[in-house]
Structure 1
Amino acid sequence: MPAFVQRTTTTYTPALVPPALSLPAIEAGFPRQLHPYWPKLQENTRAWLLEMRLMSAPMIEAYADGLCYTDLMAGFYIGAPDEVLQAIADYSAWFFAWDDRHDRDVIHGRSAAWERLRILLHATLDSPKEHLYHQDPLVAGFADSMVRLYSFLGEGWNARFAEHSHAVIEAYDKEFHNRTSGIVPTVEEYLELRRLTFAHWIWLDLLEPSAQYELPAAVRENAAYRRAALLCQEFAAWYNDLCSLPKEMAGGELHNLGISLIHHEGMTLEESVKEVRRRVEECITGFLDAEEQVLRYAEEIDNGSVRGAELAAAVRACLFNMRNWFSSVYWFHHESGRYMVDSWDDRSTPPYVNNEAAGEK
């Protein structure tokens, strides 16, 4: 299915996908979904970015819509209440801003600034209300996101989300030290780290407030459910690696599956691209198999009781949105200005980032 025009309409129109990145299985088998709240979502997230000081008004005007962050989330979490989707979209915009700060801190060797931010983010996770008015926009924006996300489900979900988030912060720290030390992780080291820096378990956790149901551990740990969940995330992370390889090589990045394959497996650039693509395609076929198993599992859960029916409906809703990751991620990479490196004045510096860390040049 063709992608939709950004900015002002949800009418579908073809997107240009380079042959090396084209996945006919996605275009044919994973119809693109879009939450009806999307136009308001886009407007509100622009306002939130300005309120939180995460982007300046000129930057928002020039780049925010073209980065397509709200489009990405509006394609993931179909069926979410509007206020849940808004909180997720704002958090996602924060995550991209944090990722950009991390990259700039690496590039400019700002170890002390990064360490301060790392410590503050850990503290904010544990007591977000105490950091709502912090001078660093990234800390204040994170605090605002956590207060909102913690409000939707119970303490068990909140603790799990915090645990996963602490792990992501530490993974970013690991990547920081790898990059500043010139270390390219091995393929296996990279895959383990990538599951954290891509925040696999965070995006999967957010399926639950979208479905308005906290899944019990027995469901989350079910082999078929876990496999489907992991594959949708692996697809997203590895397709991101495939699409961002030119940007990351231009910027001297060391963390990309393709780069690890070149550095440690002796592959040429062409061979590494082919191997990453192979892994991406295996995620699609693997997910389709796991999806059938999860649907059968949901039928078993739906045992005639009210609780069984509610739980089965939640499982199906989460599975449906796992499926939506494939199409939303796919089109996002061909519409977002985040990956249009050839259009930048400096291929190593995104035009929408702020090169300053909080409080220093």
Structure 2
Amino acid sequence: MNPHYETAKVAAEQWLNSYGIDNIEKVKKAQFPLLAAMGHCTADAKRLYVLANYYQWVFIYDDYFDNGKWSKSSEDARHAADLTINVLRDPETFTKTSFLPADMLRSFMLDIHETATERCQQRLVKHFQNFINAAVEQVINRSKDIDLSIDSYIKLRRQTGALSSVYDLVQYDLNLDVPDEVLHNPTMKKLALYINDICCWANDIYSFNIEQAWGETHNLVIISMGEGRSLQESIDFVGDRVKERFNAYVSEKEKIPSWGSKIDQDVATYLAAVEQWAIGFIHWSFATERYFGKSHEEVKKTRVVTLLPRKKA
């Protein structure tokens, strides 16, 4: 746990309150500053505050596309995405809009410009755009009732999970600047992919109950059920794939090449922090009401979940 958690939590909640968000209590119950503190244990107070704001922003942005007015119209979703991308490209001159998440992102990006390296900023812009465009693709699939196969879903999920941005923010947290040629090494790319899949697929298990209640289909458990497996078989199917990815990660990590002592140390520090983020994410998933409501501690102990009734359209 980051020792600056309480300070960052207060500041991040003040930042959140300043925007007058409709579903603010829902955001607060998820305790995203806690996710930042569990995932970024070594960040200083300023950076932890910025990171907490990022996780709050991602949830709010994603919620607009899952349940908000942009969740049904691909045209509206594309317009909102374009506004958001404009913020990424030039937050300094971006003017206030009717799309609240774009305004919130401007505040975050200005903080990033103040505290992050140039290369970190460039990577964040690239990976944010991938996440934003993937959210639009998800809306298009929903509006056209497109049923994804497991393979096509996994490809899209690797973008909607926003883990590539998390990797950038891990380096930001540590004030590291691992060279692109290192991150683009085939082994390093596989390691990033495996952690991405582990976190996203585990998240699909945790979020399944809420998403099935809302009739959402962007979930690996739900897609597995669509291929003929029962609910429990699908949970086991996804769980087994998470275990496979974990084993693949451990095996692939043995193949990391050397780039010299300085870079090797930075890579070791970076990967240890990415692993810590994944562990923190898992613990956070059971520490708040985000996925299991007030039963989150009981679910962690028993691994038994009571299905929610389907919401009326």
Structure 1 gaps, min length 5: 1-33, 350-361
TM-superposed CA distance for 1:158, in Å, is: 2.1
Query: Which residue of the partner structure matches residue 288 of structure 1?
Result: 250
Answer whether contact 2:71 2:139 (CA < 8 A) is retained.
no
The residue identity in structure 2 corresponding to 1:283 is R
Aligned residues: percent identity? 23
Distance 1:342 1:76 in 2: 22
Distance 1:95 1:259, change over 3 A: same
The one-character-per-residue Cα deviations of 1:126-156 (angstroms, maximum 9, x if unpaired) are 1112336444321110111112223333433
Contact 1:228-1:287 within 8 A present in 2 as well = yes
How far the C-alpha of 1:172 sits from its partner, in A, is 0.5
1:230-249 counterparts in 2 under 5 A? 230-249=193-212
**What pairs up with 1:1-361 in 2 under 5 angstroms?**
34-54=1-21, 59-60=24-25, 63-105=26-68, 109-111=72-74, 113-131=76-94, 133-263=96-226, 265-294=227-256, 297=257, 300-303=258-261, 308=262, 311-340=263-292
**Is this contact kept in 1: 2:73–2:143, CA < 8 A?**
no
How far residue 176 of structure 1 moved from its aligned partner, in angstroms, is 0.4
Q: Deviations over 1:193-246 (max 9, x none)?
A: 000000121111112212212211221022332222222221110000011111
How has the CA–CA distance of structure 1 residues 70 and 133 changed in structure 2, closer, same or farther, with 3 Å as cutoff? Answer: same
- Count of paired positions: 300
Instruction: Report the RMSD for the aligned CA atoms in angstroms.
Output: 2.5
- Give the Cα–Cα distance (whole angstroms) in 1 for the partners of residues 155 and 48 of structure 2: 28
| Equivalent residue letter for 1:205 | D
Deviation by residue 1:4-30 (Cα, 9 ceiling, x = unmatched): xxxxxxxxxxxxxxxxxxxxxxxxxxx
Q: In structure 2, how many angstroms separate the alpha carbons of the residues matched to 1:301 and 1:108?
A: 45
Deviation by residue 1:140-184 (Cα, 9 ceiling, x = unmatched): 101111122233334333222212211211110010011122222
The offset of 1:111, in angstroms, is: 5.0
TM-score by length of 2: 0.86
Q: Give the secondary-structure state (helix, strand or coil) at the position aligned to 2:60.
A: helix
CA 1:131–1:286 in structure 2 vs 1: closer, same or farther (change >3 Å)? same
Instruction: Decide whether the 8 Å contact of 1:167 with 1:196 is kept in 2.
Output: yes
2:305 alignment partner in structure 1: none
Structure 2 partner of 1:27: none
Give, as a single letter, the amino acid of the residue that structure 2 aligns with 1:279.
R
The answer on whether the counterparts of 1:35 and 1:75 sit within 8 Å (CA) in structure 2 is yes
Partner AA of 1:317 in structure 2: T
Partner Cα distance (1:148, 1:347) in 2: 42
Please give the per-residue CA displacement for 1:30-65, whole angstroms capped at 9, x wherever unaligned. xxxx11111112111111101233357xx44xx555
Q: Per chain length, whose mean CA-contact separation is higher, i.e. which structure has more relative contact order (CA < 8 Å, sep 6+)? A: 1
- Answer with 84-93 or 101-110: which moved more: 101-110
Partners of 2:27 and 2:59 within 8 A in 1: no
Following TM superposition, by how much is the alpha carbon of 1:259 offset from its aligned partner in structure 2, in angstroms?
Answer: 1.7
Aligned residues of 1:118 and 1:169 also touching (Cα < 8 A):
yes
Question: Deviation digits for residues 303-335 of structure 1, max 9, x if unmatched?
Answer: 4xxxx2xx3332222111121133212122212
The residue type paired with residue 236 of structure 2 is K
TM-score, normalised via structure 1 length: 0.76
